[in-house]
Structure 1
Amino acid sequence: MKKQISLVALASFFAAPTFAAPETYLVDPNHTYPRFEYNHFGYSNQIQRFNKTSGTIVFDRVARTGSVNVAIDARSVDTGYALFNEHLQGEDFFDTARYPTITYQSTAVRFDGDKPVAVEGNLTIKGITRPVTLTLSSFQTMPHPILKKDALGANASARIKRSEFNAGKYAPNVSDEVTLSIAVEALKQ
């Protein structure tokens, strides 16, 4: 009889569903730099970045769900040239005096098996919100070798038209289509 009880208990243990709670990660501002790329008068593709990003990423591997909530300080735009930084912060482009923050809030995360492959959400620039899907070219969770805590990293990209965000000055000479690419790392809380 004892053997039967032990087998029943063991079988019920392995049959019980595994429950994992969603894990929250804070964006690491020292390893997260959203970039944007555009064609400049047909001469070359220029790549600029933002230096200040914050936010949270929630990830539940078992339930295959997640969410992303990111804020980019538009005043931190960095072209390597102070005068051009000021130009991009002006009314024709980011208008940082009135809209200092760019935000992205997810509405869904798409998975292929256990890995997220895309994040659907809303991008807000200059107070204008548009749906944007970020495609993930890489995604990784693992213990951070130096900080000794769980970390998450991803590379995401999307294409948008800047004119849809009231920032289309000089198009088509400076391309209306802009490629966004975001290298993000986040630490588990």
Structure 2
Amino acid sequence: MRKSLFALTAVAALFAGAAQAQSANYAIDPTHTFASFEISHFGAAVNRGRFDKKEGTVQFDKAGKSGKAEITFDVTSVNTGTPAFDKHLQSADLFDAAKHPTMKFVSSKFVFNGDKVASVEGQLTLLGKTGPLTLKANQFNCYDSPMLKREVCGGDFEATIDRTQWGMNYGVEWGFPKNVRLVVQIEAVKQ
């Protein structure tokens, strides 16, 4: 009888702990969230750009060490600082913004190292094709924002992708590299 009571108490405590560990919803803060890309230009310089318009949500459970994210980037908002280059990037040669005005990252797996997010695994949809993408966390933290009076979580992430996996082949025959470095800064505000 005593063992049964102990087992029942342990199961009840387990369920009570599971009920307390709930994910919270966060909204992307567009003033602190950017996706940038870098690609070598014939080994002489590095072309860089970013997407200025984005939206998304994150579900995050610190105690349960899990999370989900869905972030959409408007490729018509690509910004390199050179309008003519932006226009070429939006053309059918590269992002084909007329047919594919957005790219989306959807993740259902956050990988932890201790209490910190180490990486986020998911799927990137670009040019109508979806493929795996893992964003490695260079840093990650949650803090109470003194201005917003709410919790904010975010980090600095990076990955290198082979752009031809998504059908972006422009310039490969001339020597432009297939590999593109992605740098994603994200902060999201608890709702």
TM value normalised by structure 2:
0.88
Describe the superposition over 1:127-164 as per-residue Cα deviations: whole angstroms up to 9, x where unpaired: 01110111011111111121111111111111101111
8 Å Cα contact 2:67/2:108 also seen in 1: no
Describe the superposition over 1:23-66 as per-residue Cα deviations: whole angstroms up to 9, x where unpaired: 11101111111000000011112221110111011110111110
Higher helix share: 2
Cα distance between partner residues in 1 of 2:88 and 2:63: 46
Residue identity in the other structure for 1:186: A
8 Å Cα contact 1:111/1:117 also seen in 2: yes
Q: 2:181 aligns with which of 179, 182, 187?
A: 179
Counterpart position of 2:100: 99
Backbone CA RMSD of aligned residues: 1.6
Q: Secondary structure at the match of 2:165?
A: helix
Counterpart position of 2:120: 119
How far has the Cα of 1:187 moved from its partner? 0.7
8 Å Cα contact 2:55/2:71 also seen in 1: yes
How far has the Cα of 1:107 moved from its partner? 3.1
Identity of aligned residues (%): 36
Cα distance between partner residues in 2 of 1:57 and 1:107: 10
Cα distance between partner residues in 2 of 1:79 and 1:37: 10
**Unpaired segments of 5 or more residues in structure 2?**
1-11
Which aligned runs of 4 or more in structure 1 are off by greater than 3 angstroms?
none
Cα distance between partner residues in 2 of 1:168 and 1:79: 20
Cα distance between partner residues in 2 of 1:30 and 1:36: 18
Q: Secondary structure at the match of 1:17?
A: helix
Counterpart position of 2:164: 163
1:147 counterpart = 2:148: yes
Counterpart position of 1:50: 51
